Amino acid sequence: MKTKINEAIKDVLMQFGNKYFIEGIVHKSKVIQDLDEYDVALIEAFIGNETVKTNFTINIAGNIVIQTNKLLELFEADEYWQDSYTKYSKKIGLTAGGKFIDESTDVVLDFPYKDTVLKASMSKEDTDKDDLRPDEPFLNEVIAKEEIDVLLDKKILINAKKYDEEGEHEVASFSEDDNLIIKGNNLLALHTLKEKYAGKVKLIYIDPPYNTGNDSFKYNDKFNRSTWLTFIKNRLEVAKDLLSKDGAIFVQCDDTEQSYLKILMDDIFGENNFKNMITIKAKIAGVSGSHQGRSLQNNCEYILMYSKDEEEFYLKSTPQIEQELMQYIEQLKNDGVSWKYVQVLTHLGERKYLGAIKDGAGNPIKMYEHRESTTMNINELAKKKYNGDLKKAYYDNIDKIFDTTNAQSSIRKRVMDSMETDTDITSIEYVPTSGKNKGKLTSLYYKGPKRRLFTWLSDITYKNLEGEIVRKENAGNLWDDLQYNNINKEGEVSFANGKKPEMLIKRIIELCTEENDLVLDFFMGSATTQAVAHKMNRRYIGIEQMDYINTVSVPRLQKVIEGEQSGISKDVEWQGGGSFVYVELMEKNRGFLKSIQNAETQTELYDVFQFLLEEAEVDFRVDLEAVKDTLNELSFSDQKKLLIKIIDKNQLYYNYSEIDDANVRDLIEDNDYAFNKSFYEKGGE
């Protein structure tokens, strides 16, 4: 569509070169973004065009004011910027609104509430009793900015305790070397940490509610997915601020929200920072189920892995998958390569020196022949010496079992060109100048006239603490070797809701961290992440709101300090020790919610109401006089519902800015007061 205004706007945009165009097509979303942010250069250019100035400005007391709202409406009208020509005459593909999807600059994850903050408390008073659930509002980032600032302000920390080998102690100071456990809403706790820990966390792993309808995310409204995405978005945005430049975040989920979560994380962290989607076999598929005949059984979960800055991020190690030797041999047979690792060197003949040649650097390579050497097939050896016990044959001869390969190298070529002997087995001895054996005296063995290189089975296996010989191989993004069965008692605590194996967390921690790096998990649950980080000598922070933090999570970490031997303890030779600090966000209105719900008589409820009027933060939209006048007319149950609804749900904890208020200071123990001053004002020193 060509109009005078349309052409005038294009003339303005063309002043900026290709900034607002993609292959000659106006990049609407970029223009809208800059208008919305009042980009000075763009606003000046629009006002400088007479056509635009006439149609989109007003004069107020001699001042020219541009009406950006009208310009935004114009750019948001798709038909106004329709293309009037065919861009690709021979292109076939999916289109939306007349444009190929791969050309679109407007494809985003669009959902209600995306511009809001949702506290989304997970504690039982918000989820167990539907009729008494607080009516938590979605706070718009612009309209409710003041409320959000109060909501997300750092909180007072109370009940500070330190746990170490001597037990539990009061603590009045904090060091950044301390491990930290926080009880309270995780969004508010993350913002409490933001100023102190921004850019310092090396690894974040979280296992949030999956929004399956059976987990702790109980927002059963018609925008359930939108609510869940808002809930996750608010937390991931502050989590990104906490990550160091070379840090990474791992978010575990199932296929309920995986595709939506991926798009959300692309938006927050950037598509370029997406590293992998790891697939985990979390269950064994059964032979029957409620979906039999309609869909496949779900037995996988997924972990989305993102870096903070792709230019700064590197994996610290490659995860290893372990496999018992005989399982590996059987897999080779199933893969059609049963010939591998079936030859046994039963006798290595006496070594005879043949002379020396030089490597590329002029260093000697000594050559030997081994006459009267003998080899045998492992199956024959098992029958002859082990009564057919193939496993024992492998285990007893692990250092003598080999395969041969035609590996090409400059060393092998020198050996083939120089070694003149008809001996079946030959060897060389030299000191490599590069590679994994650099600087070490190394022997290589060759077989046959073509000098095929020996590869020893013992080089890729080792004996574990149980006496089993296992093989390690580099893991990709399919992790199907983790033991999800029988982990309920790991850590010597029982936890039925989504407990993860310690080996899973160990693998993730090894991928991205080194000793003393900081690890964060703000959906702490049974404290698997913290327990593993503790055993691996990483610093850690854990956040959990549910009351089981004091019956499951903290006791588990106490057992770690005592040296419990489940999970990864034997793998990392864990013997106990270390410490952590425990604190709670200081409850405010949340305490009133509990008192209302727990009131059993009219008198108790009335006393709570009177105290609430004096001390609690009441929702500003509530007419308190009307509540006083009508409360007695309601049933006892309805009175509870009404009192819960009038409490400001975004004032559930005391802000640190209130710590020196007289009425707040009286509620805080001297020990906790000193701890807060140390935590916030002295940098934790």
Residue at 102 is within a domain: no
**What's the average model confidence in pLDDT over 490-498?**
78
- Strand, helix or coil at 433? coil
Q: Are residues 345 and 374 in the same domain?
A: yes
* % of the chain exceeding 90 in pLDDT: 45
Residue at 109 is within a domain: no
Q: Are residues 276 and 353 in the same domain?
A: no
Highest mean pLDDT among 9-23, 93-107, 138-152: 9-23
**What's the average model confidence in pLDDT over 294-316?**
91
Residue at 214 is within a domain: yes
* pTM for this entry: 0.67
Contact 175, 184 (CB under 8 A): no
Q: Are residues 508 and 437 in the same domain?
A: no
Question: pLDDT (tens digit, 9 = 90+) per residue, 658-668?
Answer: 999 887 888 89
What pLDDT score was predicted for residue 186? 93
Q: Are residues 310 and 340 in the same domain?
A: no
Residue at 95 is within a domain: no
Question: pLDDT (tens digit, 9 = 90+) per residue, 44-57?
Answer: 999 999 988 888 88
Q: Are residues 610 and 579 in the same domain?
A: no
Q: Are residues 143 and 185 in the same domain?
A: yes
Q: Are residues 558 and 676 in the same domain?
A: no
Compute CA distances 337 → 73, 333, 346, 533, whole Å.
66, 5, 22, 40
Confidence tier at 317 by pLDDT (50, 70, 90) = confident
Residue 124 scores a pLDDT above 70? no
Residue 669 scores a pLDDT above 60? yes
- Distance CA(633)–CA(258), nearest Å, equals 49
Domain that holds residue 677: 589-681
Q: Are residues 235 and 207 in the same domain?
A: yes
Q: Are residues 70 and 124 in the same domain?
A: no
Residue at 404 is within a domain: yes
Confidence tier at 84 by pLDDT (50, 70, 90) = very low
What pLDDT score was predicted for residue 83? 41
Q: How many domains does the chain have?
A: 4
The domain boundary residue, chosen from 445, 472, 499: 472
**What's the average model confidence in pLDDT over 162-181?**
95
Neighbouring CB atoms inside 10 A of 336's CB total 7
What pLDDT score was predicted for residue 496? 66
Q: Are residues 565 and 615 in the same domain?
A: no
Q: Are residues 150 and 257 in the same domain?
A: yes
What pLDDT score was predicted for residue 651? 60
Residue at 100 is within a domain: no
Instruction: Tell the residue number behind the tokens 């809403």, with chain if given.
Output: 185
The domain boundary residue, chosen from 88, 105, 124: 88
CA nearest neighbour of 535 among 580, 566, 576: 576
Question: pLDDT (tens digit, 9 = 90+) per residue, 436-448?
Answer: 678 889 999 999 9
Residue at 623 is within a domain: yes
Confidence tier at 594 by pLDDT (50, 70, 90) = confident
The domain boundary residue, chosen from 472, 489, 504: 472
What pLDDT score was predicted for residue 224? 79
Residue 645 scores a pLDDT above 90? no
For helices 589-598 and 636-646, angle between their N-to-C axes, nearest 10 degrees: 170
Compute CA distances 66 → 6, 45, 59, 128, 274, whole Å.
17, 11, 9, 52, 40
Residue 95 scores a pLDDT above 50? yes
What pLDDT score was predicted for residue 360? 78
Question: pLDDT (tens digit, 9 = 90+) per residue, 217-240?
Answer: 554 444 578 888 999 999 999 999
Q: Are residues 140 and 267 in the same domain?
A: yes
Confidence tier at 126 by pLDDT (50, 70, 90) = very low
What pLDDT score was predicted for residue 131? 43
Highest mean pLDDT among 181-185, 324-328, 330-334, 451-455: 181-185
- Strand, helix or coil at 653? strand
